[in-house]
Amino acid sequence: MDTKRLRYFKTIADEGQITRAARKLQMAQPPLSQQLKLLEEELNVQLFDRGKRSLQLTAAGAALYEKAKIILGTIEDTVHEIKAMDSGEMGTLSIGVNKSCFYYLLEPMRHIRANTPNVKIQLREGDTYTLMQAMAERDIEVAFVRFPLNIEDFTVQYDAITLPAERYVLAVPTTHARSIEGVEVQMQHLSGIPLLLLHRTSGRGQYERVIGAFHRAGVQPNIACECPDAAMLLSLASAGIGAAIVPESTLQAFPTEGLQVFPIANMNVKAEAAIVWQRERYLSGPTRRMLERMRGIYGG
């Protein structure tokens, strides 16, 4: 049973006449008569009593009419839903995010909530490596991660929006802040302070780059703790365990009570981050919508 025939049938039943239904359907009357006949033959059922002049639904016709309303309504709703999903007005946005990049996600999330309330956001947290794998397994569509990516699977091509490079800062427990003079801290000064860094396997390239900066400056870092989670890092710092080195934006996404922040004066690496996705993959409407917007903000 075809949708078209069903729609024809319903219109005829609604109008009570083939001629009027044909007008409504913007077609001539004979083909409509023909299509009705074909539907009846297909179902092997008479749907209308051909009275003298007006048509009258038979029992079977009345039953089909009720069903037709449901079926056609469902189809229409479905088309709307699919189109809405694709336009980004509804659907699900599955994002992977690294806690150290969390700040960059705050604004787009607020925007999505405010403008497209029917869009659900699925968040997944993890380090760069985990998120890239999750993306390969299609658990997430895009990821907010730190560079470099250290991708292993080169069969897949990636697209990215680069987020602004930012300096690393030192988050020092307020109780220990007196030992630092001025508004900046010199790298040389850091050797005396127990440091909290992102875990080697979490940040991947990031860790090596920070350590590299220390070496280039001829400073031996005093690493108190490597931690896989940026929020945890700050929590440890405010607890007085040590001073955390984190990208500046990270401090804007998490509570900084008990912390005092100092730019690191002569540190010559910057933290880089990006929004990354698989190039060949067809992204959901909400995702595409968000990416377009982010591209507008940060440039392609």
33 binds its own copies (CB under 8 A): no
State the minimum distance, in angstroms, from the CB of residue 264 to its own copies: 42
Please choose, out of 23-31, 68-76, 82-90, 112-120, the segment that lies near DNA by the rule CB under 7 A. 23-31
1 binds its own copies (CB under 8 A): yes
Contacts with its own copies by CB under 8 A: the residue count is 42
75 binds DNA (CB under 7 A): no
Structure tokens at 224: 């108190």
Instruction: Compare residues 27 and 165 and give the one whose CB is closer to DNA.
Output: 27
Contacts with DNA by CB under 7 A: the residue count is 25
CA count, 13 A, side-chain hemisphere, 95? 26
34 binds its own copies (CB under 8 A): no
Instruction: Report the residue count for the chain.
Output: 300
Binding-site partner at residue 157 among its own copies, DNA, none, CB < 5 to 8 Å by type: none
202 binds DNA (CB under 7 A): no
Site for DNA in 264-293 (CB under 7 A): none
CA 296 to chain centre: 16
One of 1, 27, 106, 239 touching DNA (CB under 7 A): 27
50-81 in b/e burial notation, b at 16+ Cβ within 10 A? eeeeebebeeebeebbeebeebeeeeeeeeee
Site for DNA in 137-196 (CB under 7 A): 155
CA 39 to chain centre: 45
Helices (H) and strands (E) in the chain — how many of each? 12, 11
- Find out whether 100 and 246 touch, Cβ atoms under 8 Å: yes
Cβ count within 10 A of residue 20: 14
35 binds DNA (CB under 7 A): yes
52 binds DNA (CB under 7 A): yes
Alpha carbon distance 195, 249 (integer Å):
19
Handedness of CA 110, 115, 117, 123 (dihedral sign): negative
Structure tokens at 273: 């981050």
Q: Which residues bind DNA (CB under 7 A)?
A: 2, 4-5, 17-20, 26-31, 33-38, 50, 52-55, 155
Q: Which residues bind its own copies (CB under 8 A)?
A: 1-4, 6, 43-46, 48-52, 56, 58-60, 63-64, 67, 70-71, 74-75, 78-79, 81-83, 85-86, 91-92, 138, 141, 155, 280-282, 284-285
